[in-house]
Structure 1
């Protein structure tokens, strides 16, 4: 699938699912509290589909898919038929209004648990956290060696590369020394300390990872598979051949081999490749071809693939998956609040924020990696929506909850004037946040 089309498609799927679930929370609780719902809308603006339900509610899908709303019978928006006065929103007790407003984020939290549960049930294909360290990096200073396997980060056991990097990313925000337990290629375990206090404050997380210098261990220089009919196979190369040199230059690993071919092919696509087969050295003359593969842009190829990295798949039965879902939701929630706190205090960069473009790209990438990854992505976005909506910003659910909690304490509603002032402040805050996220998305496309 084309990356732009795929990003748009999976963004629409993501927003459609999560917005519908969020608004259904408001709708369902409002109906249970006896409030008449006039309209249930997924999206804003002009309707592209609508119908009237048996309950009199107008259900619609609108043109702008960046949200949705549930319109209830509300005396603040016009005259209410006396016969329907008991179904009007503001006539309900304050605790019911609190329940209706909190239901949207609450249903997003429920969806988060469900999506994580599905992720653990079907499994999320990943690779084992076998690592190496770039020279003169923080990881190298900490004592990371090529082939080390991460066993735990800050005392929490790790089984996959992505989980390990998520844990380290969260530790980077605190910029404090972090314990890393690894098992070396000799089978011995070591306890290392990543000196993350050396990271400068306020930089984006990708720059922190560059300074950390921890990467997946390089793949060995072996032609694991040779594509029939391609230059390497025509020259006599076979699957399992060890790649020793390119035009007399030694090869350290498969990436080094690929980089040498990519660098030298424009000068001359004809290579003398030294290999080792069954312990015997051999030389093959291979002429690279300028071609496209699997829809990607044209490049110099000889038709070999590296060995697959060690795979890691975490998959549980229904009961264990629910326990893991609860743990993941709790950890993700605390990590999100930790990041928000660090950004508010200036310890973490606001460049870590992503907007619609960033979400669309991640949606497409996660969908292409498999259903388990997409469930994980949905869970994280749903949790983020729940937390964002609970922030005490007027125009968001959290702002209305703040008004109703004040009413609960003082015994009377917040004045209409105070509410209007809060709405203006809230709109400014919200548009500022959206603008910053959009700027970050655009800035990532620009050359550094």
Structure 2
């Protein structure tokens, strides 16, 4: 399946699951509150499939899979026969209307916990949180190659993704944080990352890279892939050679070669380069030469070799709990992600993060859904959990036309003792439509800038 078709398919699956649970929350509470439900629809537009239940409810799957709705008997929409008026939504006590409206977002929050539980039980394959290279702020903090990150602040980091998700919020807040590590020797130590020293503005998507951390799994092995003719390496090194040392300095990754060669060039004269070739260890004499970067024109000391790009490394860590232990873990993760979601909203409003990287549109969501599905069931479950949480929180915001807006009307009704006037509700609907339209416009703009404009 192509990336385009895969993205569309997994977006439909994700929205279908989330919308079905959301609308089922409204439906379930409405039925138990004595309200007649006329239609339960997943999607909008022309029905592709319809079935009428014994209770008279129409169950529909519609052509446009970008939402859904539960249509209840309501005198504000059409004339209701006297015999059915007690089952009308508008005739229910305010506390029942509050319960019916709140049930949708609450269903999404419950689904979020269930999905996190399933993710933990299935087990999310990932990479071990081992440092490959540390420069800049990370190196100044004492982080070294081979360190295993055990915790960032008070959050445990059993995988590299967990470490990244803990480091990024601290980086966005420019907040110094502690990192607990296990060193190569097996001892545990605590490092202080001075993230307050980060630049005032930086690409939030590259936060971990900006602080100077590279994971072990991203390191390119020091394997020679190509030797350019008429360069110092021509006739000395061969394709497939593994460089193990330069001038007595060990080489463990391709990134080690550049600094070693620069130092060798500045020192002047030839030196020994140690390689493994077809099981043999060789020490070869070589002297770097001044070269010019093809794109930037910048001069540097070089050998004339290019790396052999390896296949994607196998994941070497799994985030997994047993079915019982996964229950509190799912609740903890849901609470943590809720806090982070509100914190991110706060950062966007205060300008500490770019709104372009905060509000995602359907293209971004579709690509994320496809990528997570390709990574495995647990990754897709995690993405669904995050989307369900976002949908639940978004719908609770006090914006007219959203569930939270209706809840606001009902709370006002509880205080003043009478329903909000039709005129006030109509005005609120216009305001809500404008806000949602603006949010959708921003989401589509971000999609275009982040995915289509390269």
Say whether the fold is shared (TM-score over 0.5): yes
Question: Contact conserved, 1:129 with 1:150, CA < 8 A, in 2?
Answer: yes
Question: Contact conserved, 1:222 with 1:307, CA < 8 A, in 2?
Answer: no
1:126-171 deviation line (CA, Å, top 9, x unaligned): 1110014464x33233332222211110122211011111111222
CA deviation after TM superposition for structure 1 residue 312, in Å: 1.1
2:295 corresponds in structure 1 to: none
CA deviation after TM superposition for structure 1 residue 442, in Å: 1.1
Question: How has the CA–CA distance of structure 1 residues 386 and 103 changed in structure 2, closer, same or farther, with 3 Å as cutoff?
Answer: same
SS in 1 for 2:448: helix
Question: How has the CA–CA distance of structure 1 residues 34 and 424 changed in structure 2, closer, same or farther, with 3 Å as cutoff?
Answer: same
State the distance in 1 between where 2:336 and 2:98 align: 26
1:272-329 deviation line (CA, Å, top 9, x unaligned): x95345553399xxxxxxxxxxxxxxxxx99985694661112222110111111111
Question: Contact conserved, 2:254 with 2:307, CA < 8 A, in 1?
Answer: no
Question: Contact conserved, 1:204 with 1:350, CA < 8 A, in 2?
Answer: no
Question: How has the CA–CA distance of structure 1 residues 125 and 57 changed in structure 2, closer, same or farther, with 3 Å as cutoff?
Answer: same
TM-score when scaled to structure 2?
0.81
1:156 corresponds in structure 2 to: 155
Question: Contact conserved, 2:40 with 2:69, CA < 8 A, in 1?
Answer: yes
Question: How has the CA–CA distance of structure 1 residues 251 and 18 changed in structure 2, closer, same or farther, with 3 Å as cutoff?
Answer: farther
State the distance in 2 between where 1:303 and 1:77 align: 68
2:41 corresponds in structure 1 to: 41
Question: Contact conserved, 1:153 with 1:180, CA < 8 A, in 2?
Answer: yes
What runs of 5+ residues in structure 2 fail to find an aligned partner? 224-237, 259-273, 285-305
1:331 corresponds in structure 2 to: 336
Does residue 244 (structure 1) correspond to residue 243 (structure 2)? The answer is yes
2:179 corresponds in structure 1 to: 180
1:275 corresponds in structure 2 to: 276
Counting only pairs closer than 5 Å after superposition, residues 395-414 of structure 1 correspond to structure 2 as: 395-414=401-420
Q: Which moved more, 1:378-387 or 1:57-66?
A: 57-66
Q: Which moved more, 1:412-421 or 1:343-352?
A: 343-352
Does residue 363 (structure 1) correspond to residue 369 (structure 2)? The answer is yes
CA deviation after TM superposition for structure 1 residue 403, in Å: 0.6
1:393 corresponds in structure 2 to: 399
Question: Contact conserved, 2:164 with 2:208, CA < 8 A, in 1?
Answer: no
Does residue 445 (structure 1) correspond to residue 438 (structure 2)? The answer is no
SS in 2 for 1:318: coil
1:187-224 deviation line (CA, Å, top 9, x unaligned): 3333222222234567652143342232212547378x
Larger Rg: 2
State the distance in 1 between where 2:253 and 2:192 align: 30
1:147 corresponds in structure 2 to: 146
Question: How has the CA–CA distance of structure 1 residues 167 and 274 changed in structure 2, closer, same or farther, with 3 Å as cutoff?
Answer: same
What runs of 5+ residues in structure 1 fail to find an aligned partner? 224-236, 260-272, 284-300
1:348 corresponds in structure 2 to: 353
Give RMSD over aligned pairs: 3.0
State the distance in 1 between where 2:355 and 2:256 align: 38
2:116 corresponds in structure 1 to: 116
| Equivalent pairs, count | 400
TM-score when scaled to structure 1?
0.82
Question: How has the CA–CA distance of structure 1 residues 406 and 140 changed in structure 2, closer, same or farther, with 3 Å as cutoff?
Answer: same
Q: Which moved more, 1:164-173 or 1:196-205?
A: 196-205
1:233-265 deviation line (CA, Å, top 9, x unaligned): xxxx9xxx87228xxxx9955666999xxxxxx
Counting only pairs closer than 5 Å after superposition, residues 83-102 of structure 1 correspond to structure 2 as: 83-102=83-102
Q: Which moved more, 1:204-213 or 1:321-330?
A: 204-213
State the distance in 1 between where 2:339 and 2:34 align: 35
Question: How has the CA–CA distance of structure 1 residues 438 and 122 changed in structure 2, closer, same or farther, with 3 Å as cutoff?
Answer: same
SS in 1 for 2:8: helix
State the distance in 2 between where 1:124 and 1:221 align: 26
State the distance in 2 between where 1:90 and 1:204 align: 50
SS in 1 for 2:64: strand
State the distance in 1 between where 2:71 and 2:201 align: 41
SS in 1 for 2:41: strand
Question: Contact conserved, 2:51 with 2:59, CA < 8 A, in 1?
Answer: yes
